[in-house]
Amino acid sequence: MKMTGTDIERQSAGYLADLKEIIDQVLADARRHDATEAEVDIGTGAGLSVTVRMGEVDKLEHERDKALGVTVYMNGRKGSASTSDFSPAALRDTVCAACDIARHASRDEFAGLADPGLMAQSVPDLDLYHPWPVTPEQAIELAVECETMARDFDDRINNSDGAVVGTYSGTHAYGNTHGFSGGWEWSSHTIDCTMIAGDTRGMQRDGWYSRARDRKDLQDIRTIAQEAAKRTVSRLGARKLTTRSVPVIFEAPVASGLFSAFITAISGSSLYRRASFLLDKLGKPVFSDHIRIHEQPHLKKALGSAPFDDDGVATRARDIVRNGVLESYILSSYSARKLGMQTTGNAGGIHNLVVDHGELDLAGLIRKMDTGLLITDMIGFGVNQVTGDYSRGASGFWVEGGEICYPVEEITVAGNLVDMYQQIIETGNDVDDRGNVLTGSVLLANMIVAGD
């Protein structure tokens, strides 16, 4: 289905009001079917994505999404159903299906809505909605220009994995039988470029991308193209390393994975299942004593910002780690009840995890490390959330005397996250803001690097 600029602009306050009216109707229907509690979540949106390769259009996609999910509770029994059809008959059928499931479900004493007093009292404007009514022709032109700039940057770039220009705008609405109803509109835009370079030593692939709520905040295509090209040719001539134990820097784009594993470990579902390497660590040191990690859900234009969580609970800024000590878990209302605690407003996940940084940029961290490994790319998952054991394929650069010497590949870095968190020496100020974890590059005192 073709999406026009008018379709994008349709995401308006009036449209959000229409969705809230649908939510009210579905909740009323759930009550008529004897639901003691109910909640409804609606997501709609439209987007455009263009991929070009070697100057030709490889893929052009128009996307339009619409979905409603309803969850009903009948004295501790839970049932859920969803639909993409918003007609009155389809909505009634969806409610019936949810209620039928609840009647046959086992009772769960922890199931139910979040406490009424925790509902968001207001929905602040977080400046998340900046639709980009770009036409397919304009998107193609941008993608071709970006790819061409990258290909022309260096003669060793002899192929391309393509350039992508994408935009998406949507609306999120939620309501429940506590009388809470709210929502917001949002947008996300991306320009991505991936190159392939080769010489007598072999072939390498790398790229760069920019992502933002507002297209005005995207890096310009020349910057993206040049960064993609530089990163690609810098990998040529990569060597293997012998196995050794050395300091390691995780470049900012891959450092976020260290903290994503931490968030999983302190999330309610991992804790009540006893499947976490950070069990019973609340109030205890888990990081180096200079580390502060906090949640900032109300950052303007940030990709992880949200005024309330998936339970309708108001989000708030708070410390998770202060002076290296674990101050709080990541809990939904359900997981909080299972643990005998109170929700932290994290149903659906974290909202802008911020890792405070020092004064050094990446070059400064490299000089401080002096000799060791700079990791710029990771392969595979390789994290055991129960034990904390960490082992992942990696590539990057060998550093000596505070200077990058040569690229390396086909290596594995290994350790245990419990020890790795304690060995963080410094976090750089080169913060990567293209996701939900906002961190700079991270210097660790020591890791095992396995190679030949």
Q: Express each pLDDT in 203-240 by its tens digit.
A: 999 999 999 999 999 999 999 999 999 999 999 999 99
pLDDT at 9: 42
Mean predicted confidence (pLDDT) in 53-64? 97
Give 12's pLDDT tier (boundaries 50, 70, 90). Answer: low
Tell me the per-residue pLDDT of 371-414, one tens digit each, with 9 for 90 and over: 999 999 999 888 999 999 999 999 999 999 999 999 999 999 99
Is 261 a residue whose pLDDT tops 70? yes
Is 2 a residue whose pLDDT tops 80? no
**At 118, is the secondary structure helix, strand, or coil?**
helix
pLDDT at 407: 98
**434: which 2 tokens?**
């293209």
Is 110 a residue whose pLDDT tops 70? yes
pLDDT at 341: 97
pLDDT at 11: 44
Q: Is 0.75 topped by the overall pTM?
A: yes
Backbone torsion region of residue 100, taken as left when φ is above 0, otherwise alpha when ψ lies between -120 and 50, otherwise beta: alpha
Is 8 a residue whose pLDDT tops 70? no
Domain boundaries, the chain: 5-232, 238-452
Is 116 a residue whose pLDDT tops 70? yes
E strands, 177-308, in order: 181-199, 202-212, 244-250, 293-295
- Torsion sign across C-alpha atoms 285, 317, 301, 307: positive
pLDDT at 6: 38
Tell me the per-residue pLDDT of 290-328, one tens digit each, with 9 for 90 and over: 999 999 999 999 999 999 999 999 999 999 999 999 999
Of 151, 141, 144, 142, which Cα lies nearest the Cα of 207?
Answer: 151
- Calculate Rg over the CA atoms of the chain: 24
pLDDT at 267: 98
pLDDT at 3: 37
Question: Contact 337/331 with Cβ under 8 angstroms?
Answer: no
Tell me the per-residue pLDDT of 23-50, one tens digit each, with 9 for 90 and over: 999 999 999 999 999 999 999 999 999 9
Give 15's pLDDT tier (boundaries 50, 70, 90). Answer: confident
pLDDT at 380: 85
pLDDT at 5: 39
d(CA 20, CA 108): 29
pLDDT at 365: 98
**225: which 2 tokens?**
């193209």
Helix (H) or strand (E) holding 60: strand 56-74
Which CATH number describes the domain made up of 5-232? Answer: 3.30.2290.10
